[in-house]
Amino acid sequence: MKDNRKREKALGTLERGDSGWREATRIVHGGPKPSEQSGVINPPIYRASTIIYDTVDAYIDRHKGLYGDVIYGLYGTRSTYALAEAIAELEQGSATVITSSGTSAIALTLSAFVEAGDHLLVADCIYGPTRKFLSEILSKFGVDIEYFKADIAGGVAELCRPETKLIYMETPGSQTFDIIDIPAISAVARARGILTAVDNTWATPLYFKPLLHGVDLSIASATKYLSGHSDCLLGAITASDEAVFRRIKDVAARWGNCASPDDCYLVQRGLRTLDTRLERHQRTAFALVDWLVEQPEVQAILYPAHPNDPGHAIWKRDFTGASGLFGVQLDGLNENETRAFFDHMWTFQLGSSWGGFESLAVPAWPAPVRAFSNKERDGALIRIHAGLEAVDDLIDDLDAAFDRVRTLRRSN
C-alpha cells in the first residue's frame, strides 16, 4: 500500500486529497501539485486584474467561471483558489470564499441571506465589531435582529419564527469565552430550514469543524492563527454545500470584496505550520493557566479547556483541542492597579489582535457589549494570548505584574 503511494507519487498520479494522509500530513503536503508549477512547493503569487481570453465566445462565457475559474482578478486568482481549497479541506466543507478580512467575511455572511422583514438570531457572545455591523448597518436595512444567551442550546426553538433566516454564532465567544451547544442549535435550525453560521476563529478548523456538527457556514479570521505571524489580514467563509457557497461568492463579487494574492500566499504559508503552532500555543496556555490558578487574586479562568469552565463538557465533546487565547478574572483591579499590571510587562505585548507567534495581554471589559448580563463572565478581565516564547519567560513577566499589584495594594 505504502509502496504503491510512493510509486504513484513518483508517477505524479497520486491525488493529494485522496492519499489516506492524516490531517497534520495533509496540511504539510496538500495543495497544488508542485509538478504543475515548475516544482515550486507553495503556490506562486498570481497578481492580476485583467484576464485575457482567446476567443469572443470564451470572453462572452467568462462569468460561468465565477465559482472556480480565473475570470477577473477581483474574483480570485490561482493564489486565492489554492488557499480556498486548503481551508475547505480543513473545514471539510463544499467550498470556501476568501475575503479581505475576518470582519468582511462576517459582514458578507450576515448580509447574504436576509432581506427587509427577515429575522436574524444572534448569540450574545459575538465579537464586538460584528455587533456594530448589526446595529450600525444591517438594522438600517429593516432586518430584525434578536440576541440570545450563549447557553440557550435547544431552547433557541422558542425564538424561531417563520421569517427567521439565519442563526449566527461564535464559539467560544469573544472575551467571555462562552461555549455554545452548536449541534443542539443546528438541529433546531435544520428542522426549520434556517441557515446557521459560526465564527470559528478561536479554535480554527483544526480543532473544531462546525460543518460536521450541522452548521451551514464556518467563518475564520485568517488574520489570526491561520496566518500566525501578525502581518496580514484575510477572512474565509466555508460553506457546507454548493448553493450556499455560490450565494456567498455572488455577494462577495457584488460588494467588490477582494483578497490580496500576497496575503493569500502568506496564509497558505502559515497553514503549513498550523498544527505545530497550535500544539505549542495550547501547551503554553495550559501551563500559564496552571500557574495563574495558584495566584490568590485570580477568581476565575475563562477557558473552555479548563475543567472548571462551565463550557468544558461541550468543548470536550465537540472540539479536538484548545487554542492559546483565554481570559483571567482578578478580584477587581482598579485603574491604577490595571496600569501597574500591564504597563511594565516586557515579554507580553499590549495589542488586540491575536493568533500570532507573540504573547499578548490586554485588559477587557465585556459587559458593555452584551445584551444579557452574566456576572460570572462579563466583569473586567485580562485577556491573554499564549504565544510561542519560552513559558518560563512568560511566567516571570506575569509574576512581576502580580507583584506590582500587590505592592500597590500594600501601600494603600
Ligand X SMILES: *Cc1c(COP(=O)(O)O)cnc(C)c1O
Q: Which stretch binds ligand X (CB under 6 A): 100-108, 109-117, 133-141, 307-315?
A: 100-108
Q: Which stretch binds ligand X (CB under 6 A): 101-109, 111-119, 263-271, 305-313?
A: 101-109
27/234 with CB nearer ligand X: 234
Size of the site for ligand X (CB under 6 A): 15
Coil/strand/helix, residue 289: helix
Binding track over 191-230 against ligand X, x by CB under 6 A: --------x-x-------------------x-xx------
Residue with cell 467563518: 219
**Cβ at position 127, least distance to ligand X in Å:** 4
| Grid coordinates of 54 | 482567446
| Grid coordinates of 227 | 496566518
Residue 354 near residue 325, CB atoms below 8 Å: yes
75/168 with CB nearer ligand X: 168
Q: Give alpha helix (H) positions in 113-159.
A: 128-136
Residue 206 near residue 274, CB atoms below 8 Å: yes
Q: Which stretch binds ligand X (CB under 6 A): 96-104, 272-280, 295-303, 326-334?
A: 96-104
248/333 with CB nearer ligand X: 248
17/351 with CB nearer ligand X: 351
Which position among 81, 127, 177, 208 is part of the footprint of ligand X (CB under 6 A)? Answer: 127
Q: Which stretch binds ligand X (CB under 6 A): 45-53, 82-90, 95-103, 189-197?
A: 95-103
| Grid coordinates of 269 | 504559508
Question: How far apart, in whole angstroms, are the C-alpha atoms of residue 315 and residue 324?
Answer: 15
**Cβ at position 176, least distance to ligand X in Å:** 12
ω into residue 172 within 30 of 0, thus cis? yes
Q: Phi-psi category of 43—alpha, beta or left, where left has phi over 0 and alpha has psi -120 to 50?
A: beta
How many beta carbons lie within 10 A of that of residue 116, not counting itself? 8
Residue environment code for 34-57, b if the CB has 16+ CB neighbours within 10 A, otherwise e? eeeeeeeebbebbeeeeeeeeeee
**Cβ at position 234, least distance to ligand X in Å:** 7
Question: How far apart, in whole angstroms, are the C-alpha atoms of residue 184 and residue 121?
Answer: 15
Which position among 79, 80, 96, 103 is part of the footprint of ligand X (CB under 6 A)? Answer: 103
Question: How far apart, in whole angstroms, are the C-alpha atoms of residue 316 and residue 320?
Answer: 7
Site for ligand X in 226-255 (CB under 6 A): 233, 235
Question: How far apart, in whole angstroms, are the C-alpha atoms of residue 208 and residue 180?
Answer: 12
**Cβ at position 27, least distance to ligand X in Å:** 21
Site for ligand X in 367-386 (CB under 6 A): none
**Cβ at position 260, least distance to ligand X in Å:** 12
174/284 with CB nearer ligand X: 174
Alpha-carbon distances of 396 from 96, 338, 346, 402, rounded to whole Å: 42, 18, 10, 10
Which position among 96, 101, 109, 257 is part of the footprint of ligand X (CB under 6 A)? Answer: 101
**Cβ at position 207, least distance to ligand X in Å:** 14
**Cβ at position 222, least distance to ligand X in Å:** 7
Q: Which stretch binds ligand X (CB under 6 A): 10-18, 102-110, 140-148, 367-375?
A: 102-110
Question: How far apart, in whole angstroms, are the C-alpha atoms of residue 229 and residue 28?
Answer: 17
Q: Does 111 bind ligand X (CB under 6 A)?
A: no
| Grid coordinates of 299 | 477568581
Chain centroid, CA 64 distance in Å? 30
Q: Which stretch binds ligand X (CB under 6 A): 13-21, 97-105, 278-286, 373-381?
A: 97-105
Residue 207 near residue 278, CB atoms below 8 Å: yes
Residue environment code for 83-103, b if the CB has 16+ CB neighbours within 10 A, otherwise e? bbbbbbbbbebbbbbbbbbbb
Binding track over 144-183 against ligand X, x by CB under 6 A: --------------------------x---x---------
**Cβ at position 133, least distance to ligand X in Å:** 10
83/188 with CB nearer ligand X: 83
Interacting residues with ligand X (CB under 6 A): 101-103, 106, 127, 170, 174, 199, 201, 221, 223-224, 233, 235, 353
